[in-house]
Amino acid sequence: MKKCKLYSFYVVVCLGLLTGCGTNASTKLNQGPLGEDNLAYKWAQIALEATANDTERFNPRPTVTSRYLALIFVSMFDAWTAYDNKAVPVYLKNVSRRPEEERTLEKKEVAISYAAFRALMEYFPGDSLLFTGFMLDLGLDPDLSSKDPKSPEGIGNLAAFYVISSRKGDGANQYGEEPGSTKIPYFDYTGYKPANSADVNSDLGRWQPKYFSDGKGGRFAPPCLTPFWDRVKPIGLKSADQFRPGPPPEIGSEKLNMEVQEVVDVQSNLTDYQKALVEYMRDGPKSVQQAGHWLRFAQDVSRRDKHTLDQDVKMYFYNQVVAMDAFIAAWDSKMYYDYARPFALVHSLYEDQLIYGWAGEKTGMSQLPGNQWRPYSPEVFLCPPFPSYVSGHSAVSGACAEALRLWTGSDEFGESATLVAGAMTEPDFLGDTVVLHFPTFTETAEMAGFSRVLGGYHIQSDNLEGLELGRNVANEVWGFYKAHVGD
């Protein structure tokens, strides 16, 4: 009798699993490969490789690559919407929702692959062999250019076509199409000129270019990176200045002096853990920049939660639109306030003092004159070449962390990274092996933001206002996202 009851209980439990939680598992099994094996994840890997290669070719240009990544994932999302029963594309036109019997995994995979391929070819043309090779590995013809709105190949090609054509003239000046650009891609059509030269800092509150090593025994002062990016049309925000923060601390104020003092103090006492944090969040050689870094974090979530293709298409779409719009919003603040970085502020405030700080790869930490102080970075890229307020790292990290929190319904993250302190900055003075733990998305964003203070790139106001700006962006774009997925 007891055996019979136990058996009955077992049957009830099993039936409950099949009709409850088990339904989700069964649905995922029916939707094909999960996590790193689903095709959206694999295309994200290809996009990240192309982003790293872009950094090698052109040096870091985080604004530009954030737009590329966003538009690639918008293309994939738009193609995917034709096979969903509720989702609405962002740019795709004149394509009807496919009948239910056509909404198969195979057709979705083909559609998003052609969308990804065409968008990647447009935005990262230097890696055409990489993209073509992956298409061939998938058994797809990279030369098939059909725009048949009833075939998955045609829908994918159309999705990328409409994204690319819709974003021409969006202010990014990718094709040198803005007036006065004479067809030079990313030419500064705003005519921005810094208030200070690299040699003379006549206006302490404004951004000053700084000299870098050219790696060949010479030096150069990079111009401001994409000073027109505040004019780029956002995707999910209403305008670039929608959440513009109030002004930074005034020059000569106690608040500013305290924040600059904090930068000097933390750098002079950097621990191995802090050095590793600075280097990891800076992203090191072959960097994928901040948008790519948070795409990697999104992939961590995909592996952890065993995402289907559908889930990854939607998550990457939201994640990368948020990153792109956060950069636009950050640049609105940067160019509006044109604020100084600690690199120049320390030189002015500590000019006649000996302070302890980073003296370069061959020297390490040492006592040095205040006017020789520098951020904790290699000499070939000492400091991002654009105004300080707000921190782009903080804005994008705050935005993408909030986006992942909203999307997953939880702040839990649970990832970690292991690296040797100093390996990217001072290879002659290596520290210990460090494990960085990222318990929540919010804490990860805060670690990323504070790393920029530790590294000497930003004061605390740049960081805190950047984090807040980013969270505002993510919450605004959340409504845009829900409207497009049909929630």
Nearest 10 degrees: CA dihedral of 60, 62, 67, 71? 70
- Provide the pLDDT for residue 283: 82
Domain membership of residue 185 (yes or no) is: no
Residues 199-245 pLDDT 10s: 999 999 999 999 999 889 899 999 999 999 999 999 999 999 999 99
* Whether residues 332 and 474 fall in one domain: yes
Q: What is the 3-state secondary structure (H, E, C) of 436-463?
A: EEEEEHHHHHHHHHHHHHHCCCCCHHHH
Specify the number of domains making up the chain: 2
254 and 160, same structural domain?
no
Q: Which of 192-201, 282-291, 386-395 has the lowest mean pLDDT?
A: 282-291
Whether 347 and 437 share a structural domain: yes
Residue 213: inside a domain: no
User: Which of 108, 39, 105 has the alpha carbon at shortest distance from 80?
Assistant: 108
Tell me: do 278 and 411 sit in the same domain. yes
* pLDDT per residue as tens digits for the range 313-367: 999 999 999 999 999 999 999 999 999 999 999 999 999 899 999 999 989 999 9
**Residues 250 and 159 occupy one common structural domain:** no
Q: What does the pLDDT average to over 119-142?
A: 98
Q: Which is it for the CA torsion 297, 299, 305, 310, positive or negative?
A: positive
Which residues are CB-contacts of 49 (< 8 A; sequence separation ≥ 6)?
Answer: 127, 130
Q: Do 317 and 449 have their domain in common?
A: yes
Q: Is residue 83 part of a domain?
A: yes
pTM across the whole model: 0.93
Looking at the fold, whether 247 and 371 belong to one and the same domain comes out as yes
Q: What CA–CA distance (Å, rounded) separates 67 from 382?
A: 24
Give the DSSP letter string of 391-436. -HHHHHHHHHHHHHHHHHTS-EEEEEEEEETTTTT-GGG---EEEE
CA distance 155 to 158: 5
Q: Does 84 map to a domain? A: yes
pLDDT the model gives residue 31: 77
Q: Are residues 150 and 225 in the same domain?
A: no
- Are residues 222 and 135 both part of a single domain? no
Rounded to whole angstroms, the Cα distance separating 339 from 127 reads 36
Domain range holding 415? 218-485
Answer whether residue 25 is part of any domain: no
Among candidate residues 357, 389, 370, the one with its CA nearest the CA of residue 454: 357
Kindly report the CATH number assigned to the domain that includes residue 425. Answer: 1.10.606.20
Q: Report residue 67 as tokens.
A: 């737009």
Query: What ranges in 283-385 are assigned the alpha helix state H?
Result: 289-305, 309-337, 342-349
- Domain boundary (167, 194, 226) is at 167
Q: Are residues 225 and 150 in the same domain?
A: no
- Read off the DSSP letter of residue 206: B
294 and 416 within one domain: yes
Q: Both 148 and 80 in a single domain?
A: yes
